[in-house]
């Protein structure tokens, strides 16, 4: 027996379209956020203006005013003292688009959510989840500003811990949205008899999320720009600028070389762990309904690791680093589908 995703007309078309729109916007925001970090654009807007910030500078006077605020922070006078107004505009637009997308997500999520709730279009078993997502979206806005604040006074970069928290929460929101999208899209689903133990694919997804969090630490510390060799870190497996005995201390997460080392080795663990899952699925005919998505995950995982290696070898070149982050989105999507298909659906 196997899961058969039926092709009956779905009564939740508008809800599905809404969730698909929001999920896509969150994915796009993650991508733009990554580029904002890679281009060092995140501190270009030094104020958190939830409503007035929607309107970009429209006059030369306004541009000069915003640029003058940027000139007051350490990133400008310690790293970019020769920056021109035109150069500033480039980093401004990255951060502006990132914030604008965040506002769009809030508006396009809240209004339809209240409408569908008022019209009683939402299932009772998804209401709590959908309103939890609303809460997380609101919290995400505050965390984004909390992150930016860390780079406005003494540092020339934002806190890598806050950056990691910001990205991790974005992926949690993305996962919850995609899960609800799948539930509404495939509400009429026959459940197969034999499934993988539920913890196996769930643990795989959790480890990927942990790896994404560590990847944010790598980005925040610019750790991808050191030890630009693979499979060794220069001439050794462990970075030679740090004591191996200190690996399990919290201060390790302050060391770019060690954070890169951790990121590399979690990737190896993920790969071998997934090979076990893939072999389990391919060897047993009772798991035939999982085979297509399992192969897709393997392709996504292979491409992601390959992009990670190229990113290291290039010293975190912007295009490769961005593609590496985009690859993490596809890996999360496919992994969550595996978890969904392997779960009992009522």
Quote the CA–CA distance of 100 and 96 in Å, as a whole number.
Answer: 6
Residue in the block written with tokens 């060690």 = 258
The structural domains of the chain, with segments of one domain joined by +, span: 1-190, 195-346
Contacts of 206 (CB under 8 A, 6+ apart): none
Low-confidence stretches of the chain (pLDDT beneath 70): 1-11, 188-193, 344-346
pLDDT at 332: 98
pLDDT, tens only, 8-38: 445 688 999 999 999 999 999 999 999 999 9
pLDDT at 346: 43
Residue in the block written with tokens 């997500």 = 105
Tokens of 79: 């790293």
Residues 148, 158: contact at Cβ < 8 Å?
yes
Tokens of 148: 């930016």
Dihedral Cα 223, 229, 231, 234, nearest 10 deg: -90
Quote the CA–CA distance of 336 and 339 in Å, as a whole number.
Answer: 5
pLDDT, tens only, 204-237: 999 999 999 999 999 999 998 889 999 999 888 9
pLDDT at 318: 94
Statement: the pTM of the whole predicted model exceeds 0.95: no
Strand-pairing partners, residue 236, are 233
Give the distance, in angstroms, between the CA of residue 273 and the centroid of all CA atoms in the same chain.
Answer: 21
């Amino acid at each position: 027996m196997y899961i058969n995703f039926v092709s009956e007309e779905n009564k939740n078309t508008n809800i599905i379209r809404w969730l698909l729109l929001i999920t896509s916007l969150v994915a796009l925001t993650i991508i733009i956020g990554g580029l904002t970090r890679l281009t060092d654009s995140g501190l270009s807007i030094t104020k958190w203006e939830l409503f007035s910030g929607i309107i970009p500078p429209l006059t030369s006077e306004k541009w000069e005013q915003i640029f003058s605020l940027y000139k007051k922070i350490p990133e400008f006078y310690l790293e970019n003292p020769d920056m021109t107004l035109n150069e500033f505009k480039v980093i401004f637009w990255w951060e502006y688009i990132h914030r604008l997308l965040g506002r769009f997500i809030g508006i396009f999520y809240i209004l339809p959510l209240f409408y569908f709730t008022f019209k009683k279009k939402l299932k009772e078993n998804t209401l709590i989840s959908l309103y939890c997502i609303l809460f997380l979206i609101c919290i995400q806005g505050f965390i984004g500003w909390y992150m930016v604040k860390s780079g406005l006074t003494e540092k020339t970069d934002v806190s890598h811990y806050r950056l990691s928290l910001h990205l991790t929460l974005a992926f949690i929101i993305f996962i919850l949205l995609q899960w609800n999208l799948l539930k509404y899209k495939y509400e009429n689903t026959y459940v197969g008899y034999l499934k993988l133990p539920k913890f196996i694919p769930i643990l795989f997804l959790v480890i990927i999320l942990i790896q994404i969090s560590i990847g944010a630490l790598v980005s925040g510390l610019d750790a991808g720009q050191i030890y630009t060799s693979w499979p060794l870190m220069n001439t050794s497996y462990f970075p030679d600028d740090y004591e191996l005995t200190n690996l399990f201390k919290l201060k390790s997460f302050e060391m770019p070389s060690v954070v890169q080392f951790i990121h590399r080795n979690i990737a190896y663990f993920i790969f071998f762990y997934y090979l076990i899952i893939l072999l389990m699925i391919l060897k047993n005919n009772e798991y035939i309904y999982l085979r297509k998505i399992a192969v897709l995950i393997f392709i996504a995982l292979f491409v992601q690791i390959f992009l990670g290696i190229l990113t290291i070898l290039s010293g975190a070149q912007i295009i490769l680093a961005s593609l590496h982050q985009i690859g993490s989105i596809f890996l999360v999507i496919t992994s969550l589908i595996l978890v969904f298909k392997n779960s009992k659906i009522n």
